[in-house]
């Protein structure tokens, strides 16, 4: 069909493919960033490809991100793009299974729960969980034996997944969830829910497969589990907790409707799923990069010593306020999220025709394209984050790029093309706008609300680990695996560790 029908010049150029329906699924699925890069060279910054029968129009670069992430509600819809994936897993009435203004209110309720006071309380809980993990996990026997000479391996993905769920349940999810984390019932339900939260579920929402049935059963059981916790808390009226359950109980929408038990239960499941893979993938990439660059591990360690070591050699506990002021730690997380953002592309369904202005394109383009209703639009912050037009030496993991000469964190040096002009940003504080070239947490109305929590969780895990162990990599740095919901390191991904003699 593609060969026979002339291409409508008003539409963005379409990527050539041989197999109808399947389209460019293999190239996109195997390596979306390489695919975007090669299409961008051939077709410019706005092009359409076929993905399992859907027309996906990619808008690359910061201007493309602006078009997708800053798009009007009448033009682009996240709920139409994602609800088939999220509603069977999170449950009804929340996130994309309610009108957008409702979801925006739900995001506001969650923000209340991430108050300074709660975040402050979480730091100690997270470092305690990590220290406990080192004291019981089978991979860390050498650590417990106080063996500071020989190196032993740990599997980075398994370790960070466990640390992430343990620390998120201890803090956000609350003590009842934490006490069930190790139970077989909870693990099985979580695994079944997770089994229904995969790329295949985005493309094929309803298949008669056992994994879909297991997902539905697990969702119901998980929802009942959370409702049980709420009812117990209401009956017991115990002391005020610092978790999300406590902060969501008693909230009401602007029209006076209280948040129902099921809303709260389903919001908690949504938070569990939204934070687990993103944070554990990020922690994995960070540990791998630190292990690959042991001198950075030493800088992280020295930063801890400088800020938190007492004269007698003992450690002062980490605090939230101080954690935010550690430039080496901050730049390591920030740089890893630039090079290894867990979410490589973000998409929306087009609800009404969108006119793409010529300014989206490279300087020589001068026409307006129409992205028609029914297409999906896709932005790729991950592509902008390694764009050589924007970043110096973009594929090099270099935390120092975030520090200016005086060592202040959260800065970047960049240039990029704006309507044909090379714009020099110089050193600037990272913009949070929809047109920023750095968006690991997205932008616009669907921007992540978990960023502060993720920085705190990942920063505390990393600080606690570098206080206790040295790390190195003895195999090549792992390639990214794009076939999973978030971008994960491929196998092998083991890190060699050795107990610090001072630990």
- Between CA 111 and CA 115, with CA 114 as vertex, the angle to 5 degrees is 100
Size of the site for ligand HEM (CB under 6 A): 20
CB closest to ligand HEM, residue no? 450
Pairing of strands 376-379, 54-59: parallel
Q: Return the number of the residue (35 or 441) whose C-beta is nearest ligand HEM.
A: 441
Would you give the end-to-end CA distance of the chain in angstroms?
Answer: 66
Q: Which H helix or E strand runs over 498?
A: strand 494-499
Q: Return the number of the residue (233 or 445) whose C-beta is nearest ligand HEM.
A: 445
SS3 annotation, 46-80: EEEEEECCEEEEEECHHHHHHHHHCCCCCCEEHHH
Site string for ligand HEM, 449-488 (x = CB under 6 A): xx--xx----------------------------------
Other CB atoms within 10 A of residue 280 CB:
27
From 343, 360, 377, 466, residue interacting with ligand HEM (rule: CB under 6 A): 343
Backbone angles phi, psi at 502, to 5 degrees: -80, -10
> Does residue 440 belong to the site contacting ligand HEM (CB under 6 A)?
yes
CB of 413 to ligand HEM, least distance (A): 22
Structure tokens at 443: 């932008």
- The response to whether 448 counts as a known ligand-binding position is yes
Pairing of strands 354-356, 152-155: unpaired
Q: The tokens 């670069």 sit on which residue?
A: 61
Q: Is 150 exposed, middle or buried (0-12, 13-18, 19+ CB in 10 A)?
A: exposed
CB of 501 to ligand HEM, least distance (A): 32
Interacting stretch for ligand HEM, rule CB under 6 A, among 199-207, 208-216, 318-326, 336-344? 336-344
CB of 61 to ligand HEM, least distance (A): 17
Q: CA-to-CA distance for 350 and 89, rounded, in angstroms?
A: 24
Contacts of 306 (CB under 8 A, 6+ apart): none
Any bridge partners for residue 503, and if so which? none
Residues making up the chain, counted from first to last: 503
From 448, 471, 485, 495, residue interacting with ligand HEM (rule: CB under 6 A): 448
Interacting stretch for ligand HEM, rule CB under 6 A, among 38-46, 225-233, 368-376, 436-444? 436-444
From 39, 56, 94, 271, residue interacting with ligand HEM (rule: CB under 6 A): 271
Q: Return the number of the residue (12 or 275) whose C-beta is nearest ligand HEM.
A: 275
> Does residue 164 belong to the site contacting ligand HEM (CB under 6 A)?
no
Residues 22-41 contacting ligand HEM, CB under 6 A:
none
Q: Return the number of the residue (32 or 442) whose C-beta is nearest ligand HEM.
A: 442
Backbone angles phi, psi at 426, to 5 degrees: 60, -155
CB of 431 to ligand HEM, least distance (A): 16
Q: Return the number of the residue (152 or 223) whose C-beta is nearest ligand HEM.
A: 223
> Does residue 282 belong to the site contacting ligand HEM (CB under 6 A)?
yes
Q: CA-to-CA distance for 311 and 410, rounded, in angstroms?
A: 31
> Does residue 174 belong to the site contacting ligand HEM (CB under 6 A)?
no
Binding site feature residues for heme: 448
Q: Which residues bind ligand HEM (CB under 6 A)?
A: 78, 271, 274-275, 278-279, 282, 341-343, 346, 440-442, 446, 448-450, 453-454
Q: Which residues are annotated as a binding site?
A: 448
């Amino acid at each position: 069909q593609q060969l026979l029908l002339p291409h409508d010049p008003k539409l963005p150029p379409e990527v050539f493919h041989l197999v109808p329906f399947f389209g460019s699924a293999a190239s996109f699925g195997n390596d979306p960033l390489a695919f975007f890069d090669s299409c961008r060279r051939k077709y410019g910054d706005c092009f359409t490809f076929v993905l399992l029968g859907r027309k996906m129009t990619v808008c690359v670069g910061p201007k493309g991100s602006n078009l997708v992430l800053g798009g009007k509600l009448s033009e682009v819809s996240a709920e139409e793009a994602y609800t088939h994936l999220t509603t069977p897993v999170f449950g009804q009435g929340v996130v994309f299974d309610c009108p957008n203004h409702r979801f925006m209110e739900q995001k506001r309720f969650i923000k209340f729960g991430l108050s300074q006071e709660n975040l402050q309380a979480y730091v100690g809980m997270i470092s305690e969980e990590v220290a406990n993990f080192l004291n019981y996990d089978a991979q860390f026997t050498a650590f417990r034996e106080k063996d500071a000479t020989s190196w032993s391996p740990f599997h980075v993905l398994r370790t960070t997944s466990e640390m992430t769920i343990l620390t998120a349940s201890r803090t956000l999810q609350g003590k009842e969830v934490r006490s069930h984390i190790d139970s077989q019932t909870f693990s099985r339900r979580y695994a079944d829910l997770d089994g229904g939260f995969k790329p295949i579920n985005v493309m094929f929402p309803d298949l008669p497969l056992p994994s879909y049935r297991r997902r539905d059963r697990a969702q119901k059981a998980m929802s009942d589990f959370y409702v049980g916790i709420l009812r117990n808390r209401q009956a017991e009226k115990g002391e005020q907790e610092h978790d999300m359950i406590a902060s969501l109980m008693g909230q009401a929408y602007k029209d006076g409707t209280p948040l129902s038990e099921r809303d709260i239960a389903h919001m908690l499941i949504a938070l569990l799923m939204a934070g687990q893979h993103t944070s554990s993938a990020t922690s994995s990439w960070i540990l791998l990069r630190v292990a690959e660059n042991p001198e950075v591990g030493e800088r992280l360690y020295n930063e801890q010593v400088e800020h938190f070591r007492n004269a007698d050699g003992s450690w002062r506990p980490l605090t939230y306020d101080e954690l935010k002021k550690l430039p080496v730690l901050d730049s390591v997380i920030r740089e890893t999220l630039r090079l290894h953002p867990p979410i490589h592309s973000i998409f929306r369904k087009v609800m009404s025709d969108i006119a793409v202005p010529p300014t989206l394109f490279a300087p020589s383009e001068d026409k307006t394209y129409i992205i028609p209703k029914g297409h999906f639009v896709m932005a790729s912050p991950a592509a902008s984050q390694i764009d050589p037009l924007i970043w110096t030496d973009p594929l090099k993991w270099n935390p120092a790029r975030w520090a200016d000469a005086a060592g202040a964190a959260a800065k970047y040096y960049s240039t990029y093309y704006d309507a044909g002009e090379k714009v020099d940003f110089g050193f600037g504080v990272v913009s949070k706008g929809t047109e920023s070239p750095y968006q690991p947490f997205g932008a616009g109305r669907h921007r992540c609300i978990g960023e502060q929590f993720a920085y705190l969780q990942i920063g505390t895990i990393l600080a606690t680990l570098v206080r206790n162990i040295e790390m190195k990599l003895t195999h090549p740095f792992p390639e990214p695996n794009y076939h999973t919901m978030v971008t994960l390191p491929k196998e092998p991904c083991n890190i060699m560790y050795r107990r610090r003699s001072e630990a």
